[in-house]
Structure formats: structure tokens, C-alpha cells
């Protein structure tokens, strides 16, 4: 779709445009059909890999994580989004860890770190 094409272009654009796109990613994706969502998810995961050293990107997308989880089937959430969230839970930047923490039940992450 046109929206899918524009979204993908924004995700590979300059950092400022990419950051603006990530801030509203959850809301934007609600307008896409299931097949387009899956294609966009692949692009989003590529952005994560490409920008893996930029903690600002991690924080922006982590803030969208709950919305994203509601858009996809459970198998996709577990296979893609939560795996990424686990990586962010161990991010060296405390702000990224704090944003992701509510996704996990109780004090599970805190307990695992103490063991």
C-alpha cells in the first residue's frame, strides 16, 4: 500500500525523520492491513539491527512496544518483539531498561540479575 511504502521510506531516511516515525509507529501501524504489518515488521527489525548502537532509537521504539504487541499475533510477539525487548532489558543505558521494564511481569528481570 502507499502508507506502507511511505512508512518504509521514513524508516530508512535521515535520523530526524526516522526518530519522528518511531515516535508514532504504534499509531501509524494501526492503519495497515495484516500483510502490510508483517512486511513493515521486517523493515522495523532491520532498523533495529542497523541502528543497534543508537540508544535513542532503542528508547523510542521501546516506548511503542506495548502498542506493537497488541497489533500482532502472539507467536509474532513472542518470536520477534519480546526477543528484542529482552535485549533492551539488558541495554547498557538505564533509560532504555526503564522503558522496557513494564513489559515484563513483576520483578522477574531484577531477580534474574541478582542470581
DSSP string, 22-56: HHTHHHHHTTS-HHHHHHHHHHHHHHHHHTTT-HH
- The pLDDT of residue 85: 84
Digitized pLDDT (tens) for each residue of the chain, 115 residues in all:
688 888 878 877 777 888 888 888 888 888 888 888 888 888 888 877 776 677 787 788 788 888 888 888 888 888 888 888 888 888 888 888 888 887 776 554 444 444 4
pTM recorded for the entire structure: 0.71
- The pLDDT of residue 109: 47
- The pLDDT of residue 105: 63
Q: Using CB atoms within 10 A of its CB, is residue 20 exposed (0-12), middle (13-18) or buried (19+)?
A: middle
Q: Using CB atoms within 10 A of its CB, is residue 100 exposed (0-12), middle (13-18) or buried (19+)?
A: buried
- The pLDDT of residue 112: 46
- The pLDDT of residue 63: 84
- The pLDDT of residue 52: 65
Amino acid at each position: 500500500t502507499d502508507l506502507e511504502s511511505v512508512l518504509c521510506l521514513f524508516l530508512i531516511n535521515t535520523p530526524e525523520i526516522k526518530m519522528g516515525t518511531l515516535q508514532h509507529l504504534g499509531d501509524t501501524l494501526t492503519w495497515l492491513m495484516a500483510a502490510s504489518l508483517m512486511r513493515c515488521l521486517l523493515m522495523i527489525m532491520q532498523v533495529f539491527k542497523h541502528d543497534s548502537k543508537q540508544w535513542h532509537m532503542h528508547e523510542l521504539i521501546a516506548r511503542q512496544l506495548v502498542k506493537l504487541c497488541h497489533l500482532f499475533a502472539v507467536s509474532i510477539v513472542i518470536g520477534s518483539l519480546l526477543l528484542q525487548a529482552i535485549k533492551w532489558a539488558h541495554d547498557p543505558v538505564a533509560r532504555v531498561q526503564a522503558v522496557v521494564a513494564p513489559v515484563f511481569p513483576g520483578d522477574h528481570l531484577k531477580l534474574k540479575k541478582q542470581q
